[in-house]
A and B are shown apart, each in its own frame.
Chain A
Amino acid sequence: MMAVAPGWLSRRTVRTSWPSYLGAFVALTSGIVLIATTVNLIAAVEATLTSLGDAATQDQRAQLDDLTSLFGIMSAVSMFMAIFVVASTFGFVVATRRRELGLLRLVGATGRQVRRLVLGESLVVALAASVAGCLLAMPFVAPVLALVRRIGFTDLRLVAPEPWLAWAIAVPTGMVVALLGAWRSSRRAAKVSPTAALREAAIERAWPSMLQWIIGTLCLATVIGAAILASHAPPLFALVASILLPEVVVIGLMCFGPLVVPRVARLLARPFVRRDVAVRIARDELRTSVRTTTSVAAPVIAISAIAGSMLLALSFTADWTSALDRAQLHAPLVVRPSQEAVAIEQIAADPAVRLVDARRTATIGLGDGYEREEVDAVDVEVAGTARGLRATRGDVDDLHGPTIAISQSQALDLGHDVGDRLPARIDGKKSSLTIVAVVPDAPDLYGDMLVPVDLVAEQLRDTPPSELFVMLRDGANTDDARRSIEQVLAGTDNQVLGADEWIDAVTDEVRQSNNLGLTILLGPAGFYAAIAMVNATLIGATQRRRQHQVLGLLGATGDQLRRIALWQAVLVAGSGLLLGGLTTLLLGWMVRRAVTADLSGTGVPVPLTIPWLPLAAIVITSVLLAVAAGVAGSHGPTRRAR
């Protein structure tokens, strides 16, 4: 019997409550498009691999592997944004209906009935949004795949996958998330007092619930604990932490959001309050409608914290690797060979040259599943002289025969140590390699795994070196030697670079590739954050329309009303950026500390490169979007008030 009323009511009330649900619909539809698109990208990689079959070259496989990991992280970030935004939007849409729900309680609806009504309405909206999202995502597949190729992340033509998989993942995710968001706020709605209907306006509750206190405190404690631990951990651990922790910070911040965001906005408004009454009204409205304020700030906090932390962490990691290169590279000259065979003997024959250390890689099957891994083939003596190859544990001099050396990061990652044996398949033959040394990380000088040259000699015959590290005899002049080698290599595309020049060039390439990666990683989530922010600003503006009409009646000019809306948008976006910025600062500091601690004994100064341009781009884009949405949102009330 009890179930009759809410279903009957949901169908009727959604007729009038749809404008407030429109925002939730937009948030969920674009969230479904986002999730479906990222799933399509991962599926496209699989489909491409299947279509290539055995004909796939090693390079193609490597490209597809890279794309899978890239799209995997991209999906995770996008999924987090979608979940976060959809849940918060559904939550605050319900909060806007406080008076109506109070009225239902007044005429006899139990808390449970109100809850079922809200869930029923949300279900209707979520179903509609899921269908719309799936249909909208379909035409996106081809252009997005073309875009990935155009950006230059792959030269493969990715095959468009069947849409079913994307639908099968995006729809349940979207529905569950929307209903979870609605469920949370429906619990709150069920507690709405019947007297809420008797009040025209209510000050929204800013105090977090017990659950929010617990989750928020846990999240923030985890982050602070991890930040302290990670600053003593290897830099790669700090890097991984800096990718995962922003999400935890954002969840923690949002638990305390209604308490924190309006206070930050108030702080930002303080210098302007006395100068313009619009700022004062904007500030007071933000403080009164804490849920709207928090929901508008949510996507800004999330994207600025995640993108900012990743930008800073990757930049500091590039600083770290370039410092590692400098700390270890002894060779004063580096030759970057072209595709043609390089005349190593001719360079070695130069009287100023003591030795030439060629960096070569081979592919072997490693581990229980004999997964194909790229390994560096090194001549320990030569690499020790030119590239400073040394062991932190074990002894690199033992790297002869069926042995392998691994980097510190690899040892940490796989949990292996000196003395362990790894099953291997080299050129079709099975063997077992003993780990004889753990070596410091130096990603540009050698990879995570090193084997002796003689172990993969067959493969090396056909593999040109990627770099030649040239050591000079004592007393030889570097500039003269460089000119002499350049003469030897004249007429070829081989490049001769000084050690510092080479490190700068490599670091530049790393930064470029990082930027490209970040564009793909954060592009969809950033785009979604933009939609979410504009959407939430517009919902907020609709909510305040009545109050702004009253302000208009009381004598506020159209210009004043527009300024109020603008200030609200700027204050909320500013608060979001400030909180996101603080998160970035904390996690950036964590990576930086780990990097400087790692290099503390080497005496090599670690450069500090802050990616100002992309960071400024995030700030400027957020503020511009907020202003644009604020202006658009203020259009209605100012016109009507006049």
Chain B
Amino acid sequence: MTTSTDTLAPPAATLDSVTRTYRSRAGKVHALRGITHAFAAGTFTAIMGPSGSGKSTLLQLAAGLDRPTDGRVSVDGTDLAGLSDTALTRFRRTAMAFVFQSYNLLDALSASDNVALPARLAGRSVDASGVKEALEQVGLRDLAGRRPPELSGGQQQRVAIARALYARPSVLFADEPTGALDRNTGRDVLALLREAADGGQTVVMVTHDPLAASYADETLFLADGRIVGRLQHADATAIAQRMSELER
């Protein structure tokens, strides 16, 4: 079993002996093999690993987007296994937010409507100044009325981050958030995630870019469905070196 713990702060999300196995025509595929890890509150964790190592599966399980074959996942002290589909959705929209490589915005809605969408879905009244503030935080206050097709890739990703910031969820999950962006825009996005963590939110990010991982407090390395190493406050060079060792 792979175990990794952090005792500095109470965990925002924990995975306890989590296994995920898929059935395919070729037989069973073990995406994760008994992962145990706690993501401490207010920290920024990067997850790295070669393709097929189980990074995205780990993120989806931690976020309750997928259910483990075995083991337990809890977020903010709530065991996700005990929740029905609807209850899980309700829990997810208040406790978690997502930023993905493909920006995942609704083309029909303006930037500000996209930011306010989770709140509206939750039936909460939308605080217009809060939405503006979130957009301002990502530098898009003037583009609040534009719809995604009228924005650049970097701008769309920043709208997605504003959406994640506005709800102030305890955990923000990001899957390759800079994957489709140029280096400069990518840095802006990473700085925003760093700010979120500094502001007390927990950020969990899957990436293959050592520079992106260097913004994190801790980097976990996955291989073959297991955690095979971790680095604290490492720079891009150290992370790149560990990655190349893994890929050898």
Q: Which residues of B contact A113 (CB under 8 A)?
A: 121
Contact of A108 among B66, B104, B106, B118 (CB under 8 A): B118
Judge whether A13 is part of the interface by a CB distance below 8 angstroms.
yes
Judge whether A15 is part of the interface by a CB distance below 8 angstroms.
yes
Q: Which of A4-12, A78-86, A161-169, A287-295 contacts B (4 or more CB under 8 A)?
A: A4-12
Which residues 1-57 of A have a CB within 8 angstroms of B? 1-2, 4-5, 8-9, 12-17
Question: Would B65 and A194 count as touching, CB distance under 8 A?
Answer: yes
Q: Which of B89-97, B222-230, B239-247 contacts A (4 or more CB under 8 A)?
A: B89-97
Question: Would B86 and A108 count as touching, CB distance under 8 A?
Answer: no
Bound-complex Cα distance A16 to B66 (A): 29
Question: Would B117 and A107 count as touching, CB distance under 8 A?
Answer: yes
Bound-complex Cα distance A1 to B121 (A): 9
Judge whether B100 is part of the interface by a CB distance below 8 angstroms.
yes
Judge whether A110 is part of the interface by a CB distance below 8 angstroms.
yes
Question: Would B98 and A107 count as touching, CB distance under 8 A?
Answer: yes
Judge whether B195 is part of the interface by a CB distance below 8 angstroms.
no
Contact of A109 among B104, B107, B121, B163 (CB under 8 A): B121
Question: Would A195 and B60 count as touching, CB distance under 8 A?
Answer: yes
Question: Would A108 and B121 count as touching, CB distance under 8 A?
Answer: yes
Q: Which residues of B contact A112 (CB under 8 A)?
A: 86
Bound-complex Cα distance A549 to B108 (A): 23
- A82-126 toward B: CB 8 Å interface, digit per residue (1/0)? 000000000000000000100111111111110000000000000
Question: Would B65 and A195 count as touching, CB distance under 8 A?
Answer: yes
Given known A1-B123, A5-B120, A8-B120, contact A108–B108 (CB-CB < 8 A):
no
Question: Would A4 and B86 count as touching, CB distance under 8 A?
Answer: no
Q: Which residues of B contact A14 (CB under 8 A)?
A: 108
- A187-202 toward B: CB 8 Å interface, digit per residue (1/0)? 0000001110110100
- B136-177 toward A: CB 8 Å interface, digit per residue (1/0)? 000000000000000000000000000100000000000100
Bound-complex Cα distance A84 to B92 (A): 39
Question: Would B66 and A109 count as touching, CB distance under 8 A?
Answer: no
Give the number of chain B interface residues (Cβ < 8 Å). 28
Give the number of chain A interface residues (Cβ < 8 Å). 30
Bound-complex Cα distance A105 to B106 (A): 12
Closest-CB distance, A172 to chain B (whole angstroms): 30
Closest-CB distance, A96 to chain B (whole angstroms): 14
Question: Would A16 and B108 count as touching, CB distance under 8 A?
Answer: yes
Given known A5-B123, A195-B60, contact A108–B65 (CB-CB < 8 A):
no
Which residues 171-222 of B have a CB within 8 angstroms of A? 175
Q: Which residues of B contact A103 (CB under 8 A)?
A: 104, 106
Residue from A1, A15, A108, A193 with most neighbouring chain B CB atoms (10 Å):
A108
Judge whether B85 is part of the interface by a CB distance below 8 angstroms.
yes
* CB-nearest residue of chain A to B167: A108
Question: Would B104 and A106 count as touching, CB distance under 8 A?
Answer: yes
Q: Which residues of A contact B163 (CB under 8 A)?
A: 107
Question: Would A107 and B86 count as touching, CB distance under 8 A?
Answer: no
Judge whether B109 is part of the interface by a CB distance below 8 angstroms.
yes
Given known A195-B60, A195-B65, A195-B66, contact A110–B104 (CB-CB < 8 A):
no
- A108-152 toward B: CB 8 Å interface, digit per residue (1/0)? 111111000000000000000000000000000000000000000
- List the interface of chain B (C-beta within 8 A of A): 60, 65-66, 85-86, 89-90, 92-94, 98, 100, 102, 104, 106-109, 113, 117-118, 120-124, 163, 175
Query: What are 5 A-B contacts defined by CB distance under 8 Å?
Result: A5-B123, A15-B108, A109-B121, A194-B65, A197-B100
Add 20 more A-B contacts to A15-B108, A108-B94 (CB < 8 A).
Answer: A5-B121, A9-B120, A12-B113, A13-B109, A14-B108, A16-B106, A16-B108, A104-B106, A104-B117, A105-B89, A107-B118, A108-B118, A109-B89, A109-B121, A193-B65, A195-B60, A197-B100, A198-B104, A198-B175, A200-B102
Q: Can you list the 3 inter-chain pairs with the closest CB atoms, starting with the nearest?
A: A108-B93, A1-B123, A16-B108
